[in-house]
Amino acid sequence: MKNITPMLSLLVIKDIASKCGFDLCGVAKCQNFTTDRLFFDKWIDKGYAANLEYLKRNRDKRADASQLVEDAKSVIVCAVSYKNRYSTGYHSNCHQKIASYALTTDYHTTIKEMLRNLFSKLKQIYPTISGRIFVDSAPIFEKRYAVEAGLGWIGKQSLLITPQFGSFVLLGVAVITDECDQYDVPLKVKGCGECRRCIDACPNGAIKERHIDTRLCISRATIESEGSEQIPLHGWVFGCDECQSCCPYNTKTEFARNSLFTPTFDPAEIDWHKISEAEFSLHFATTPLSRSSLKRIEENLGSTYSL
């Protein structure tokens, strides 16, 4: 008798995702987010994307994952907490702050490996399953899918907030051509409510309630700036966590359980002026700092903090 692959089970997917080290997993139907697309277009038109050219490209695909993966039916969204002791903020006199996600092996590598593992385990049960995995590697509204998959809501600082782990989570998605036996639904929660701590905490006033003016954002400026611009960096040399460390949903959450997200260095103890290019490559090649350079970090260190 011919073997028939069973239909994908939501519970099985969640169970395997947990075994692969993810803290959260949900599945949403693949869809075309036309309203989000309109909002995104307006955001780009207003110049809020600054020099992030990749955001301006492939907008049709970004809104509609079926243009990214032919015949896509479902999107598996996985999240893992990365909160560590630096996520809650640095000492006020620290002027070489690094966003807490950047203190470990680059999450693109780690999460891609976790997703590959998930996919291969799913394949053992569902041999015909097909699709693609992404970790910031393709245009897709992954935070929107995370909301649809019941993982959380989009906070006023434009990040996903999960009830269990706050906003210190990293996402990976698998867009698959298979249907699931059931789908998650968005959470019924009050979300941010009247809170506006992140808006008030942003040192450059970059948060405009559910979207960011990245022209003013330190995270972009420390990593993606083209050298000629000068915005105050407030002691950050790579990324910025100010709008997360202040969030009430982040204060009571535990540190990351997955040891792959344990910091591998103490950013306050590095003397960047004494490090050679070779040492920088040796120590930071596998971390997100490799997206930057020693020269850029030194420039950020020497920032005048003035407009």
User: How many residues form the binding site for ligand SF4 (CB under 6 A)?
Assistant: 24
Residue list 53-112, contact with ligand SF4 (CB under 6 A): none
Which of 28, 98, 247, 256: binder of ligand SF4 (CB under 6 A)?
A: 247
Which of 192, 256, 294, 297: binder of ligand SF4 (CB under 6 A)?
A: 192
**Residue 266 parent element (H or E):** none
- Told to judge if 136 belongs to the known catalytic residues of this protein, a careful annotator would answer yes
Residue with the shortest CB distance to ligand SF4: 155
**How many whole angstroms from its chain centre is CA 11?**
24
Which of 28, 115, 240, 297: binder of ligand SF4 (CB under 6 A)?
A: 240
Alpha-carbon span 82 to 256, nearest angstrom: 5
Query: Which among 41, 106, 136, 241 is annotated as catalytic?
Result: 136
Which of 125, 138, 195, 275: binder of ligand SF4 (CB under 6 A)?
A: 195
Residue list 123-162, contact with ligand SF4 (CB under 6 A): 155-157, 161
Output helix, strand, coil percentages for the chain, rounded to the nearest 5.
35, 15, 50
Q: What stretches of the chain adopt beta strand conformation (E)?
A: 24-29, 74-81, 97-98, 131-134, 153-154, 160-161, 169-176, 236-238
Span from 24-32, 60-68, 79-87, 246-254 in contact with ligand SF4 (CB under 6 A): 246-254
Minimum separation from the CB atom of position 239 to ligand SF4 (A):
7
**Burial (CB count within 10 angstroms: exposed 0-12, middle 13-18, buried 19+), residue 184:** buried
Nearer to ligand SF4, 69 or 247 (CB): 247
**How many whole angstroms from its chain centre is CA 110?**
13
Nearer to ligand SF4, 214 or 287 (CB): 214
Pick from 193, 115, 114: nearest CA to 153: 193
Minimum separation from the CB atom of position 213 to ligand SF4 (A):
8
- Exposure class string for 76-86: b at 16+ Cβ within 10 A, else e: bbbbbbbbbeb
Radius of gyration of the chain (CA): 20
Nearer to ligand SF4, 104 or 167 (CB): 167
Pick from 243, 161, 245: nearest CA to 199: 243
Q: DSSP class of residue 255?
A: P
Contact code string over 209-228 relative to ligand SF4, x by CB under 6 A = ---x----xxx---------
Alpha-carbon span 86 to 35, nearest angstrom: 36
202 binds ligand SF4 (CB under 6 A): yes
Nearer to ligand SF4, 74 or 219 (CB): 219
Alpha-carbon span 98 to 291, nearest angstrom: 13
163 binds ligand SF4 (CB under 6 A): no
Please give the residue ranges that form the binding site for ligand SF4 (CB under 6 A): 155-157, 161, 192, 195-198, 202, 204, 206-207, 212, 217-219, 240, 242-243, 246-249
By annotation, the residues acting in catalysis are 136
